[in-house]
Amino acid sequence: MDSGSDSDGAPEELTAVQGVAKHEETSKVEKDSVLRVTREGKERRKRWAQRRTSSKPDKKAPKEVEDEDTKKSKPSHQIPRKKM
């Protein structure tokens, strides 16, 4: 068996200097991960809010314009009733 084999199940032995360096690296990765997750969450909420606000006026505005146009140009097809 190789002495560098990972299959032996023994934990990796590090010197004090290597341990400190490994700890700093791990801490930096964890900190970057937290910052990334926070940033992505903000970006996701911002995109959701933009979709939410941009879709509402677009749906309502054309209906109001169409209603006004159809009221002005639409001929009346009702037959007037005679009063008795």
Q: Are 29 and 22 in contact (CB under 8 A)?
A: no
pLDDT, tens digit, for every residue of 7-53? 666 677 888 999 999 999 999 999 999 999 999 999 999 999 999 88
Torsion sign (Cα): 5, 7, 9, 11: positive
pLDDT for residue 63: 52
What pTM did the predictor assign? 0.45
